[in-house]
Structures are given as C-alpha cells and as structure tokens.
Chains A and B, each alone.
Chain A
Amino acid sequence: MCLNFVSLFPSNSDIFMPSITIMAKLNLKINGEVKEVDVDPSTPVLWVLRDHLNLVGTKYGCGIAQCGACTVHLDGTATRSCMLTVSMVGNSEITTIEGLSENGDHPVQKAWLDVDVPQCGYCQAGQIMTAAALLDKNPNPSDEEIEMAMNGNICRCGTYLRIKKAVKIASENS
C-alpha cells in the first residue's frame, strides 16, 4: 500500500443519525449474557456499554466511526459501537473486549502480549477486536488483507508494525 497523497478515509456503512427520543427497556445480548437496559433507543452501544453496563474496555475516540477505538463484534463482525444505536442491535450478539475470551487468552490477545504491542494502550482494545474478527473470517490473511482490515483503527502512538506482526502470529497460532 502507498502513502496516500490523496486523503483516504475508511467509509463506514453504519453511519446514520439517531432520531428516536423516548426511553425504552431493551434486552441486549452482551458477552453471552442478556442485559436489560433502560435507555433512549438512539443511544449508541458505546455509551450503553460504558455508562450503563460498566464495560469500559470499549473506548471512545471520535464518535463518528473514524478511529476504531470503539470496535465491538456484532454477530462476529467488527462494528463501530459509537454509531451503532442500541435500537439497531435487536437479537444480535454483541461481544466486547471483556468478552473476547474467558481469561484474556484469545490467540489475538496472546499474540499482542508476545509482541508487546501497546504503548499508551488506549486504541488497543479496538485493534484487537478488529483483528479477532478478521482472523475469524480469514484465518490466513495476506499482508495486504491485514492492512485493509486494520486501516480503520488509528493508533496515535504508531504501533502499526507490531500490530501487523501480532496479527500474523495470532494467525499462525489459531
């Protein structure tokens, strides 16, 4: 891939503006458990996780699906939770970094520790969730496929090379 002299930003198909403003009780399937929340249905899943369910591993970075810090799995697909309203979730299963593995031993998490990827660490939960979803669908991605999949996740500290290395190790070990 190239240094993009023309600005390139990842497009995201789940961008839409919330419009409903009434409170509602909703049952969400999160990390294998059903959680009842009483929120405005236009609330993004990110803030339901962080403010209502104490699951703060999923991070707020931009609020407009541009940085990937808030990535969760929606039925196994990497999804930006900052623009996914809770009303859109329905019966889908949400997995967060806290639910990725029982003991922090998912192959991606293990590879992240092997390579010692993080600097500040803030974006890493999002990076790991994106990487885990990629490997689930494509267990042996090429360098280019890794770059494409990981391109929506910004790491301000610049740990990209270690991220790529860790994804490859996880691919070999899973």
Chain B
Amino acid sequence: MDQIDKHIGRRAFIRNTGLAGGGLIIGFSWLNSCKPKNISTEQALEMPKEWFEINAYIKIGDNGVATIFCPNPEFGQGVMTAMPMIVAEELDISWKDVLVKQAPFNTELYERQFTGGSQGIRRSWEGLRMAGATAKQMLKQAAAEAWQVPVSGITVSDGVLSHEATGKTAGFGEMAAAASNMEVPENVETKAVKDFKIVSHSKKNVEGKQIVTGEPMFGLDYQYEGTLIAMVEHPPAFGLKLKSFDDSEVRNMPGIVDVFQINTYDDNFVRNFFDTNAFPDLVAIVGKTTWEVMNAKKKLKAEWEPITEKKLTFDRFGSISEVTVPSGLESTKKHDELMEKMASQPGEIARKDGDPESAFKNAAKVLERSYSCPFLAHNCMEPMNFFAHVTEEGIKLAGPSQAPSIIESTLASRLDVPAEKIEIEMTRMGGGFGRRAYGHYAIEAALISKQAKAPIKLVYSREDDMTFGIYRPSYQATYRAALDENNNLIAFHVKSGGVPESPLFANRFPAGAVDNYLAEQWVINSNITIGAFRAPRSNFTAGVEQAFLDEVAEAAGKDPIDFRLELLKRVKENPVGEENDYDPDRIAGVLKLVKEKSNWAQTPPGVHRGVSAYFCHNSYAAHVVDVVMDGDQPRVEKVTCAIDCGIVINPDAASLMAEGAIVDGIGNAMYGNMSFTDGKPDHSNFDTYKMIRQNEAPKEIEVHFVQNEIDPTGLGEPPFPPVFGALANALYKATGRRFTKQPFSTDKPPLVG
C-alpha cells in the first residue's frame, strides 16, 4: 500500500477555512432527526457556546472542551479512540474533556484516510502528534500575547495554561479564539514517551455507549429523506455474465419502483487497485422497503451466459498492468488437482542462497511436507451496502468503506465528474477484514441512484455478500528441510503458489538463517476474484511455515522455541543474504516473552502445546496454544500471546484486537472454507458456512506486549497469521497427527468418527 501514502505534510495542520465556523463540521443529520434516544458520549460533556477551529484535527470550545477528529474510517480496530488519544496527548488536554468525531473524507485536509495493511497508527503517528503539538503551541502563543510574557515561560497541563512567574492561568477555552488566529508554528517539540499521560494508558471505546444502546452508526442504518432501497442480482457462478432478464413478474410487485440493468464498468475501463469485480453487469431492483425488494429479487428471471477470456487493465497507483481473466466454470476439485500438478513442477525462483541442490543431496535427513488452504469469504457481519444520491449538482455517498479515496477516484472517472463534486461520508463499518477496500458496491449504488433519479441505499443480502467474490485465495505450499548428521539445518526449500496468487515471502524467516535456501513460486489463473483478507498471504504462509519448523525442530531433537532462537541468533550474527526483511531480535523477543509468560518449561499435565512466531505488517507476534482433549475432541483451553508493535497506544483495546485475531485464527483454521462447483460458490449463508462460535473459542487468552519506545506499528493483522501454526502444532501434540489441510475440522482422515 506504500504507493497511496505520501509523506505527512504540513497541510494537515493548516486551518481549513472552508470548514471554519461554529457548529459541527460533519452532519450526521439523521442522528438528530431519527435518533431513538439521546444517549452518547456527547451528552456526557457540557457543550460550548462556540467552537474554534485550531486545525483539521482539533476544535476547541469556549468552555475548554475539545473535539478531536479521527481521520481514518473505523471497522473495529479502534482508531476512533486510539488516534484521538495521540492528538490529545500532545495537546495536553484531559481525556475527559475530549469529544471524538469521525472526520469528513477530505483528501485536502487529511492524508491516507484508509483502513488496511495495519498501517493506520504507524503512518499517522507523527502527523497526529504534530497536530496536537502545534495546536498546543498556538494556545501557548495566544496566552503569551494576552499576558505579555515570553511564550517559553508558559506550561500546559490537562488543558490549563500557566505562567509561573506571574501566577496567571487560563483554560484552553479562554485562549481558543485567539489561538485559532495564530500562525501555525513551523517547528514544535513533541513529548518524551516517559511523559505520556494518555497514550499507553487504556481508554474505553469512545463509541461504546452508542454501540450498546443500538444507535444508528453503520452504513446499513444510514437514513436520508426519500431514500429508496436497491438490491442487485449477480450471476450465480464465476465465469458467467448477464445475458438477459425478464422483470415482468417483478415490476408490479408491492413497493417496486424500477428494475434496470447497470454496468459498473466495462471491460475497457481502467480499473483502480481495489476495483476487483467479477460481476460488472447487474440487474438492479429499486423499491420502497428492503423486504419488498428482497421478495421481488426472488422473482426476477435472468439468463446467464459464459464469459469469454478477457484482458483488463489495472492502474495500481500509477503502475499499469494487464490482467487476463480466463473463461470457464471452475471447481475446487479441479483447483486442487492443478495445484498438486504445479507443486510437482519447478516454480519461478524468487530467492536462492548457496547450493541447496547439493545440500539436500548430501543431507543426513530430509523432511518434506505439503500444505493447502481453501478460499475464504470475509463474512463481515454487516453485509456490503452504500447510500448514494446522484444529482446534477453533485454526488453524495455514505457508507462503510476502508478506502473512500479509491471510490472517489473510480467514480469520478466512471461518471466523468470532478472529484470535488463527490462527497463521501464514512460510517462505522460492521467489520472489514480487507473486504471493504473493494468499493464496487459504492459505484453500483451511485449508478443506481443516477438511473433511478433518487437517493438510494444499496443493500446486499447475506447471500449476495458471500457469493460476490473477492475471497482469500486458495494456496498450496511444499516445504523441504535438510539436516546434517549433527541435526543442523543446512538447507531449506519452500515452493508455494495459489489460485490466483502466490503466498510466498521469499525474504522472511527462515531466509537468512540457512546457508542453502531456495524459494520458488507459481500461480494458477482464475476468474474467481480474490482480495486482501486480514494479513494477505501471511494468513497462510505463517501457519504452514511455523508448522513445518515445528516438525524440523522435532526431527532435530530440539525444543521448538530453542530451535527458532538458535536460527535467529544465526541471522543476527551472520545473516545469509542482504534482503532479509525482519528484525531477528524482535522475533526472538516475542518468542522469549511468550516462553516466559506461558511457563513453557512446565507444561501442565493433560495440556498439549504448540508455539509459533511471525513477523508481518511491521509487527511481531508469538503464540502458545494449549489444547486439551475432551474425550476424543480437542479443545483450545488457553492461548498466550506476545506482541511487539512498539509503543502500545491503547493497551486494553490492543489486547482486545489480539484476542479477536486469535479467535478469528482458530475459527478459520478449523472451519473456514469456501469451495466451488462449476463456478458456483458452495456456500451462501451461515447455515453451511461455518463460523467459530462462543463455545469453540478458547477459555482464556493472555496478551503480553514487549515494552519499548519504538514508534508504534500496526496490530490488526500481525497476531492473526501465526495462530494457524501454533494451533496445528498443539493439535499434533494432542493427536499425534500433523494437520496440513485447512480447514483442520475436515482434514482427512477425519479426526473423529
């Protein structure tokens, strides 16, 4: 995602005159008109008579209350709380005087309003601190002028400005008006980590009360006067497209307003990075209420026809590439056969160190193991949806998106309107996991609104959501390791690929730790669309690599943690190659911490343990999974987790994120599975797509963070991938079997019965 980030510039702190003035910058107008009950954090604070805008992140009221805007969209990762905490820290205001709001989507004011890649905090850290620190400096400057004293003599604490020599003090509210007219300082100091009072001190979710009282917050809850409901019908199988449709039974059904075809973009349209879409030709049904449109959709008769092979052009942040979409109706059975075939042939070499061929030939012991995983559906609890109101004057959109900037860019191009005429309101997202970076549903909503000449809310049914594509790809990997007569790892070989993407990270551990190393990859093209799914590629690679290393450690007669630590020591002291993209000390750090906290040396009786450690998205995570046998059924009793993500902004929320990643990891390792028959997804709802449930979650999860002062890195993804490996390793200890095919619950031969 590097390409969509720009260096944090000064513009974010510059006052936005276009939005200046009192009142709210963004209007969740529907909150006022239809809110069933007035309970929110807003009510807990006394509202000022007047607000003064200090910069795009901060408004201060005449009573000292501050509104801090969270620039990034929230999908459960906690940025709505964490980002304002960083601003408030440097502003030096008391957290109880802070009101948090979602910022408007505005590329002039904010950088990288994107949720994904675990980069939110990492990329914004410096900018958010500067936003708070420059605002504080402007308040100090205002006080200095008011009191006719040097600014250097003014101190700030908890929203109070003081000048010790003269004994003068003033709250932020008293200086806010003057501060808002101050020059934005060029250079300001930020706080020392040891002086943090808000950052690294747990704060509750700022939207917790709205959530538990059922306030409208999500895209699906969005209301706007005169809004019609729209749904779309897409082909039942990948490899098919719309041929024709018959709406005669539908048009006269109760509540139905219009039925028509839309084309999200044609084959010549130059697509943005996240414009993945298997089904650009759709039938739209527009009506008054959701239930009426759902019923009408069932009566729609559509004919489908096979697609022919086509080439699509993608503009991936300036890099133009062509993608071939093959024709045909694909099946999981066929995918598996093809993957096995590719795995048996030489792949494209991505990295080679030393002489792996000779090393394997001369080895005392060679281990080999193959692994695979199926496609996965994201299954966000809030199905895809978006509000759109397209008029001659401009386009108003609102809904759940991880990447509103992509929607703006694609829509501007598709409808040939300037970006300035497109307004996007970011609602809270009912989950994302990567899925909501792909904004086809927002484009569809706009096209439907334009055609229907009305504000509409496009709603996907669960079935639409689960069968539209953009899945985690199916992957395969074969690992080989060579040991010498002293059980030293002398060669390592990974060959991996997938449909239609390789999961290989050629420069990650254990690359760098082995003299003779070979990494190969291959790809099988497909018309089933794939997309980012929580820690793309790592969500397979971490698990299988860590499962294989467990096996190698066992063959070498070594403790699995000690074995990894030995390899990491080698990387630190005498690394092989120069491209290794991880810090061996920090992987070792989380391994040592998880070893200590899990009391690894003393496994309780009846407990079977597996360990794993992995680096991705700039952070480090290690898990110890404890499995116990309940009769012939394994059960995850406890997971101990160690993470190094640098400075932890909101520790309790960070723990919650890791807890969720662990449960998600166990769920997808055990049950996650999207398979296909003749292009058709075999699952379309939660009756047959098994999601982890309450009784399958671990009894206990302990999360520990490495304490350091390294600039913070992300957390949404890093704790997820290694879960698969630690679970597989614990299951091996519990059952004596190596689980190599995800989902483990159906890995043959069946574990039970």
Chain A residues with CB under 8 Å of chain B are: 1-7, 9, 21, 23, 40, 43-44, 47, 50-52, 54-64, 66-67, 69, 96-98, 103-104, 109, 112-113, 116, 118-125, 128, 146-148, 150-164
Contact = CB atoms under 8 A, between A and B. Distances in A.
Contacts of B664: 156-158
Nearest to A22: B254
Given A3-B635, A158-B662, A57 B213 contact: yes
Interface in B186-243: 204-205, 207-209, 211-218, 220-221, 223, 229
A120 B751 CA distance: 34
B234 to A, nearest CB: 17
Interface in B644-675: 652-653, 656-657, 659-664, 666-667, 670-671
7 contacts: A3-B634, A4-B695, A5-B745, A104-B212, A121-B211, A147-B694, A153-B694
A59 B635 contact: no
Nearest to A1: B695
Contacts of A121: 76, 207, 211, 217, 428, 430
B462 interface: yes
A55 B215 CA distance: 9
A59 B381 contact: yes
Residue from B207, B631, B692 with most neighbouring chain A CB atoms (10 Å) = B692
Contacts of B214: 55-58, 96-98, 125
B659 A158 contact: yes
Contacts of B698: 161
A122 B209 contact: no
Given A96-B214, A97-B213, A120-B429, A64 B687 contact: yes
Contacts of A59: 218, 220, 381-382, 430
A98 to B, nearest CB: 4
Contacts of B209: 104, 113
A162 B656 contact: yes
B223 A118 contact: no
B697 A160 contact: yes
A56 to B, nearest CB: 4
A162 B745 CA distance: 25
Interface in B282-309: 289-292, 294
Contacts of B685: 62-64, 66
Contacts of B211: 118, 121, 124-125
Contact of A61 (B78, B215, B381, B634): B381
A79 B752 CA distance: 33
Given A121-B76, A157-B76, 5 more contacts: A1-B695, A98-B36, A118-B205, A125-B214, A156-B431
Interface string B29-40: 000001011010
Given A5-B752, A63-B462, A116-B205, A151 B694 contact: yes
Contact of B381 (A63, A122, A160): A122
A123 B660 CA distance: 14
Contact of A103 (B34, B39, B433, B630): B39
A30 B9 CA distance: 52
Contacts of B204: 113, 116
Given A3-B696, A120-B431, A47 B289 contact: yes
Given A54-B223, A120-B382, A61 B462 contact: yes
Contacts of B78: 119
B299 to A, nearest CB: 12
B690 interface: yes
B745 A161 contact: no
Contacts of B745: 3-7
Interface in B423-437: 428-433
Residue from A21, A69, A120 with most neighbouring chain B CB atoms (10 Å) = A120
A140 to B, nearest CB: 18
Contacts of A7: 671, 688, 690, 745
Interface string B693-720: 1111110110000000000000000000
Contact of B686 (A125, A128, A154): A154
A137 to B, nearest CB: 17
A124 B700 contact: no
Contact of A157 (B212, B217, B292, B431): B431
Nearest to B466: A62
B664 to A, nearest CB: 5
B77 interface: yes
A124 B212 contact: yes
B750 interface: yes
B442 to A, nearest CB: 18
A162 B290 CA distance: 33
Contact of A5 (B254, B383, B693, B750): B750
Contact of A161 (B431, B686, B700): B700
A100 to B, nearest CB: 8
A82 B315 CA distance: 42
A51 B212 contact: no
B428 A120 contact: yes
Contact of B661 (A9, A43, A158, A161): A158
Given A47-B290, A158-B660, A104 B633 contact: no
Contacts of B607: none
A88 B290 CA distance: 20
Contacts of B124: none
B93 interface: no
A146 B636 CA distance: 17
B462 A57 contact: no
B691 interface: yes
Nearest to B221: A56
Contacts of B216: 56-57
B430 A63 contact: no
A62 B36 contact: no
A151 B381 contact: no
Contacts of A23: 254
A160 B663 contact: yes
B75 interface: yes
B167 interface: no
Contact of B213 (A44, A51, A63, A98): A98
Given A54-B36, A116-B208, A154 B382 contact: no
Nearest to B288: A51
Contacts of B39: 103-104
A159 B687 CA distance: 21
B208 A158 contact: no
Contacts of B382: 59, 61, 120, 122
Contacts of B291: 40, 43-44, 47, 51
Contact of A62 (B208, B220, B462): B462
Contacts of B433: 156
A109 B205 CA distance: 14
B77 to A, nearest CB: 7
B318 interface: no
B691 A154 contact: yes
Residue from A43, A64, A113, A158 with most neighbouring chain B CB atoms (10 Å) = A158
A57 B431 contact: no
B380 interface: yes
A57 B215 contact: yes
Residue from B205, B208, B691 with most neighbouring chain A CB atoms (10 Å) = B208
A3 B699 CA distance: 11
B212 A128 contact: yes
Residue from A63, A109, A122, A147 with most neighbouring chain B CB atoms (10 Å) = A122
A2 B697 contact: no
A150 B39 CA distance: 26
A50 B290 CA distance: 9
Residue from B211, B223, B461, B663 with most neighbouring chain A CB atoms (10 Å) = B211
A60 B383 contact: yes
A9 B667 contact: no
B749 to A, nearest CB: 12
A63 B625 CA distance: 35
A146 to B, nearest CB: 8
B751 A5 contact: yes
B294 to A, nearest CB: 8
Interface in B25-72: 34, 36-37, 39
